[in-house]
Amino acid sequence: MAKNYTSKEGTLLLIERISKTFQGKYHALKTCSLELRSGSLCAVVGHSGSGKTTLLRLIAGLERPDEGNIDIDGQRVSGPKTFVSPAQRGVGMVFQNYALFPHLTVAKNIAYGLKRPTKARIEELLQMVGLSGYENKYPHELSGGEQQRVALARTLAPSPRLLLLDEPFSNLDADLKTGIRQELRRIIKELNLTAIFITHDLHDALDIADELILLEEGRLEVHCSLTELSELDNQPKLQDSLDRLCESSRRILEVIGERKGTGAQEIARKKL
């Protein structure tokens, strides 16, 4: 399913054959390529150790690829002779545990990345994430969901071109998760942002993403749109790949089947 990518108009992120090895032996990513169009919301799924977080860290510039190129908005940010620092990439990242600065108030956390922080901008961001009136609270005084919204507001404050979210829903309980998932999509679409988020839960991906990426042992195995997945019956090639590839991709078939009210066996039977 890996495609050959060339930059097209409207492309925000272009990744060409990047690889990353740790300590010279552990291959976290193996020649992955990817193109993401401006304004899309992309979910990355895969097992633990499949290279999901490494992919995000390479895009953010927190790691350097061993080989390959990364372009953001037509600008080369990582390449054999190029490396743009994380601060200059216009990329925002929300970490799995939010990484809020514990000694700073909510307002100061949000203002941290702003060159000229104003009260109005902080209020605007707080309102956007539904936390008006929380300016003077400290992170330890907030619930998990509130902490996540603060982390999102802080990341959105400098108006990044690309938003990266590492397991944004993993620390939230089921009730909270559904609401926050939709809210996150609303904010991303309202701001016309391009975003990539990592998730373990296929329902997260199928509920709010526009595109889905499947990583398996460092290889980008599947990259398709949710429209393609929803019309799986008309996509025999994709269906065949998902069924053949690995346990994770078969799980995608299962979940889609369950959501359609049919089981994986039925999908397999149809295919036959």
Partner 1 sequence: MRDTSAWSVATLALVLILALPYIAFTSGLLAGTGHKWSHLMTYFLNKFFINSVILIVGVGFLACLLGISAAWVISRYELPGRKVWAILLYLPLAIPTYIMAYIYVGLVGYGGTTTKLGQWIGVDLPSGNIMNIYGLVWVLSLSLFPYVYAAARASFSKRPAALLETATLLGASERKYFFSIALPMAKPAIIGGLLLVCMEVLNDYGAAKYFGINTFTTGIFRSWTALKDLQSAVYLAGLLIAFAILVTLLIRLARGRKSYASNSDSGGPVKRVKLEGKRKVLAFLIVGFPIIFGLILPIIQLFMWVIPAFDYASFYENIWITAQSLFVAAMAAILTVATAIALLFFSKWNALSFIKRLPSISTVGYAIPGAMIGIALFSGGRYFVDFASEQFGWRIGYLVYGGLPILLYAYVFRFLAVAYYPIEATSLRMGNQLAEASYTLGGNRFNTLRKIELPILKPALWAALILVFIDTLKELPLTLILKPYDIDTLAMVAYNYADEEQMTKAALPALMLVSVVGLLSFLFEWWRSYSSKAKDG
- For partner 1 (CB under 8 A), the number of binding residues is 29
Exposure of 136 in the CB half-sphere (CA atoms within 13 A): 0
Q: How far is the CB of 158 from partner 1 (least distance, A)?
A: 6
Q: In the set 19, 121, 138, 178, which binds partner 1 (CB under 8 A)?
A: 138
Question: Which x/- pattern over 167-206 shows residues binding partner 1 (rule: CB under 8 A)?
Answer: ----------------------------------------
C-alpha span between 266 and 268 (Å, rounded)? 5
Catalogue the E-assigned strands of 38-83.
41-45, 67-72, 75-78
Q: How far is the CB of 145 from partner 1 (least distance, A)?
A: 14
Q: How many CB atoms lie within 10 A of CB 89?
A: 20
Nearer to partner 1, 58 or 206 (CB): 58
């390529």: which residue's tokens?
A: 33
Tokens standing for 124? 């605007």
Q: In the set 18, 98, 205, 229, which binds partner 1 (CB under 8 A)?
A: 98
Q: Which segment (22-30, 111-119, 198-206, 209-217) binds partner 1 by CB under 8 A?
A: 111-119
Q: Which segment (85-93, 179-187, 188-196, 250-258) binds partner 1 by CB under 8 A?
A: 85-93
Q: Which segment (65-73, 79-87, 175-183, 241-249) binds partner 1 by CB under 8 A?
A: 79-87
Distance of CA 145 to the CA centre of its chain: 18
Rounded to the nearest 5 degrees, what angle is found at the Cα of 23, between the Cα atoms of 19 and 29? 20
C-alpha span between 254 and 158 (Å, rounded)? 40
Q: In the set 113, 137, 203, 250, which binds partner 1 (CB under 8 A)?
A: 113
Q: Which residues are within 8 A (CB) of 24 and not within 5 positions of it... i.e. 6 or more apart?
A: none
Identity of residue 122: I
Please report, as ranges, the residues that interact with partner 1 according to CB under 8 A.
Answer: 60, 62, 85-87, 91-93, 95-104, 112-113, 115, 138-140, 154-155, 157-158, 166
